[in-house]
Amino acid sequence: MAHSFDTDTEATGLCAYVDASPSPFHACAEAGQRLEAAGFSLLAETDAFPTERGRHYLIRGGSLIAWSTEAAAGPATPFRVIGAHTDSPNLRIKPQPDLTRAGWQLLGVEFYGWPLFNSWLDRDLGLSGRVAVRSSKGVQIRLVKIDEPVLRVAQLAVHLDRGVNEGLVLNPQQHLTPLWGVSTEPGDFRGYLGAAVGVDPADVLSWDVMTHDLQPSRRIGRDLDLIAAPRLDNLATSYAGVRALVEAADVVTSSGRPAASASGSPVGPAIPVLVLFDHEEVGSQSERGAMSTLLPSVLERIVTSAGGGREDFHRALAGTVVASGDMAHATHPNYPEKHEPQHQIAINGGPVLKTNVKLRYATDSVGAASFITACDQAGVPVQHFVARGDMPCGSTVGPMTAALVGATTVDFGAPMLSMHSARELGGAKDPAMYAGALAAFLAPQT
């Protein structure tokens, strides 16, 4: 049975999820709320995992992992894993950000990931992230989300840079510093944050705070068949993954249908898992990135809480398949020469299978077969992306996840333009196809 997702519902749902998730911490909190509405319960990593079957999730900073063991067939049950990431390129506030220049109050920032610098110019910017505060109970973490136009990176007028249209060059230290007031006295960012989270400024110990564009996500185009939004890379996959996990958990639980291995042979039920990593845009090397032990540790704890041992854990991994989701480059009509001519990618053309023989993507023929089968079962088309032979391609959490877990892994995405811009462009029909394919991957038919 194909998993059916309505185009309008999923396009609207994606826009709502993106707007509620200006930082990785908010993306995890929003995903957690949606999972809890579907019967998933939050676990603390410091607690023992429950021995009874159920639906659970945990959050580590800006990363989330969720799973359902309701249809598990013993401790050696393999996993079907969808991986994505919650972070996006942006401007992040420095520890000592207050400065003045030429009668302006400015806020020191450092760019995160590799944003398109020019896309952050002349936009109304808010602030979001988390703040560590002192309290009578010790250090507490508070989320902060300021959806007010408090910052702006002002561009230099063309009259003062006559050659700007021949090539804009921005120095991130000098030209990306946002304005947030007019005064010869520096502002008080610590005090501003304290007021925002309701504590005395002296109790604000540190922060992970970043800028976000305030223009809301929305459908655009003559036929409203496009979505313009910030952070589609990679909240579009995070949203589709949450929708797919809920759908797959419901289907597997109600039907008890056996899953299929990557080779096509029945292996009994698989445990559906969703993992949303932070820090993909800066290399994933952190306690909650894809190079951390977060995923293998949780998978092992799922096995041991079901009564299994190390042998069961390795048996489970041997039958596991991982689908690493990150956004894909649609063919740009103004720059067709930048794309591989035999692998044209269309907006609203369905999920994109990504291949690179240098293993910047983890896809091989076995993993590709599992994803193509999922798309077939979901009734959605599948596209194939390969970079030009004379151009490097990006990478994803796929290769490092494959290396850490030792499981068959496939890289895929949804098509988009303007990747890493402050405002990106995708198709309004793609979210429904994306979620449908991922649900079919997590709960495949035999």
Q: How many domains does the chain have?
A: 2
Report, as an integer, the average pLDDT of 186-192.
97
Please state the three-class secondary structure of 344-361 as a single string: CCCCCCCCEEECCCCCCC
Question: Given a cut of 90, is residue 445 above it in pLDDT?
Answer: no
* Measured distance CA(191)–CA(401) in Å, rounded: 41
If you average pLDDT over residues 107-120, what whole number do you get?
98
pLDDT at residue 261 in the model: 41
Report residue 262's pLDDT band, with 50, 70 and 90 as the boundaries.
Answer: very low
Quick one: 353 and 247 in the same domain?
yes
Structural element, H or E, at residue 385: strand 383-385
Name the domain boundary from 179, 214, 249. 214
* Predicted pLDDT of residue 2: 53
pLDDT in tens, 322-365: 999 999 999 999 999 999 999 999 999 999 999 999 999 999 99
pLDDT for 378 equals 96
Question: Would you say residue 206 has pLDDT above 70?
Answer: yes
Domain hosting 396: range is: 7-88+230-442
425 in the same domain as 292: yes
Biggest alpha carbon distance in the chain? 72
Average pLDDT over residues 148-155: 98
- Rounded to an integer, the average pLDDT of 83-101 is 98
Whether 223 is in a domain gets the answer no
Q: Do 131 and 203 have their domain in common?
A: yes
Please classify residue 264 by burial: count the beta carbons closer than 10 Å to its beta carbon, then call 0-12 exposed, 13-18 middle and 19+ buried: exposed
> What value does the mean pLDDT of the chain take?
94
426 within domain boundaries: yes
Q: At 112, which CATH number?
A: 2.30.250.10
For tokens 């390129």, the residue is 89
71: CATH:
3.40.630.10
User: 416 lies in a domain?
Assistant: yes
Do residue 156 and residue 69 come from a single domain? Answer: no
Q: How far apart are CA 141 and CA 139, in angstroms?
A: 7
Q: Hey, what are 346's tokens?
A: 């269309």
CA 441/CA 436 separation, integer angstroms: 9
Q: Give the confidence band of 267 by pLDDT, cuts at 50, 70, 90.
A: very low
Say if residues 150 and 196 touch (Cβ distance below 8 Å).
no
User: What stretches of 305-354 adopt beta strand conformation (E)?
Assistant: 321-325, 328-329, 352-354
Q: Is residue 193 part of a domain?
A: yes
Q: Is residue 219 part of a domain?
A: no
What pTM was estimated for this model as a whole?
Answer: 0.95
Percentage of the chain lying above the pLDDT 90 cut: 92
pLDDT at site 254: 63
Q: Taking residues 269-289, report their average pLDDT.
A: 96
